[in-house]
């Protein structure tokens, strides 16, 4: 398939903060905003405008505790509770920790969910998936432990017309059960399956704020409806490989204090195990904003 570099240009309206594009694919870093402070309506509007333009915002040098992250996150919508459970069976708190540290605070490979290493868009196994995810880096390796993003708007735009026609009306089943099966994690409990029944989303999604078409898939997918399983698997694999090609990806190398916000409606993402997971410390705080039903 043909690939092409982005032809995006920056919006003409000035932003009330220092903002610099990080890559042609997605991402801008923002300086001079303290996210601990109350967010005015005009600042919120500017952040959302930048969010739609760049898809990933990286506020450098932040130091929020979990309560402060909760307060900041609520400016952008309703916070999502999490499906996963802590080792003692209790649900994750609404501001939860993503880490390779064990209960004693020591690095271990055991706590890392395999699913995070596979391309996905957050919570696509929900009827109403995530709009925005936020990760605040508290401790990160000096090198590696990156998060990689793929721009599914660019991926869709670069598809040949025949492929766009072929996938235009396809519907895809996503489920928590398939998500775990696809990455080799233990199957969910019967209770978890009842709580999270399969859902169906269009393979070609229209971004509700920009109108752009995107490819909506990832490792939470089970199969395409009305297509033989082998053909479904092959097509999902082909489209994933297409939209995660290097020209459509941006790799975020974390700095301590980074506070990121990204748009799950036009991006796939995955964590990279490119550090010594059993030796180096990596700890981030995460919040997720609920979106709208895909169409």
Structure tokens at 157: 């735009």
| Shortest CB 235 distance to Fe ion, Å | 23
CB nearer Fe ion, residue 80 or residue 122? 122
CB nearer Fe ion, residue 232 or residue 260? 260
Which of these, 13, 70, 71, lies nearest to 45 by C-alpha position?
13
| Shortest CB 267 distance to Fe ion, Å | 10
Residues in contact with Fe ion, counted by CB under 5 A, come to a total of 1
Report the residue closest to Fe ion, judged by CB. 122
CB nearer Fe ion, residue 122 or residue 258? 122
Which phi and psi (to 5°) does residue 157 adopt?
-60, -30
259, β-bridge pairs: 59, 136
C-alpha distances in Å from residue 22, one per residue of 5, 48, 59, 82: 14, 17, 12, 30
| Shortest CB 135 distance to Fe ion, Å | 9
| Shortest CB 13 distance to Fe ion, Å | 31
| Shortest CB 249 distance to Fe ion, Å | 15
Contact 251, 260 (CB under 8 A): no
Structure tokens at 120: 């996905």
Angle of CA points 211, 295, 263, to nearest 5°: 60
| Shortest CB 269 distance to Fe ion, Å | 6
CB nearer Fe ion, residue 159 or residue 291? 291
Told to check if 263 binds Fe ion by CB under 5 A, we report no
What character string, x for contact with Fe ion (CB under 5 A) and - otherwise, covers 33-72?
A: ----------------------------------------
C-alpha distances in Å from residue 90, one per residue of 85, 219, 279: 5, 25, 27
Helices in 151-246 by DSSP H: which ranges? 152-157, 161-167, 176-183, 190-195, 229-243
For the segment 103-142, give every residue that binds Fe ion (CB under 5 A): 122
Distance CA 7, CA 24 (A): 8
CB nearer Fe ion, residue 53 or residue 122? 122
CB nearer Fe ion, residue 46 or residue 286? 286
Binding site for Fe ion (CB under 5 A): 122
């Amino acid at each position: 398939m043909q690939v092409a570099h982005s032809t995006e240009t920056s919006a003409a309206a000035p932003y009330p903060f220092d903002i610099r594009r990080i890559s042609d694919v997605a991402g801008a870093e923002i300086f001079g905003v303290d996210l601990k402070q109350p967010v005015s309506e005009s600042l919120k509007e500017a952040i959302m405008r930048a969010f739609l333009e760049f898809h990933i915002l990286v506020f450098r040098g932040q130091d929020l505790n979990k309560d402060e992250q909760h307060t900041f996150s609520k400016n952008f919508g309703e916070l999502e509770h999490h499906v996963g459970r802590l080792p003692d069976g209790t649900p994750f708190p609404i501001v939860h920790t993503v880490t390779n540290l064990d209960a004693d605070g020591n690095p271990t490979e055991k706590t890392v969910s395999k699913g995070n290493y596979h391309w996905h868009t957050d919570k696509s196994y929900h009827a109403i998936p995530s709009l925005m995810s936020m990760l605040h880096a508290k401790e990160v390796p000096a090198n590696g432990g990156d998060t990689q993003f793929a721009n599914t708007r660019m991926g869709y735009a670069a598809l040949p017309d025949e492929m766009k026609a072929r996938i235009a009306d396809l519907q895809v089943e996503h489920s928590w059960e398939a998500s775990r099966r696809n990455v080799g994690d233990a199957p969910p409990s019967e209770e978890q399956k009842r709580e999270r029944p399969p859902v169906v989303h269009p393979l070609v999604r229209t971004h509700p704020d920009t109108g752009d078409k995107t490819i909506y898939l990832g490792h939470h997918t089970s199969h395409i409806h009305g297509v033989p399983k082998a053909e479904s698997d092959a097509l999902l694999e082909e489209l994933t490989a297409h939209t995660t090609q290097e020209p459509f990806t941006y790799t975020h190398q974390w700095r301590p204090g980074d506070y990121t916000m990204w748009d799950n409606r036009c991006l796939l993402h995955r964590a990279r195990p490119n550090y010594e997971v059993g030796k180096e410390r990596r700890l981030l705080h995460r919040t997720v904003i609920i979106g709208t039903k895909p169409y």
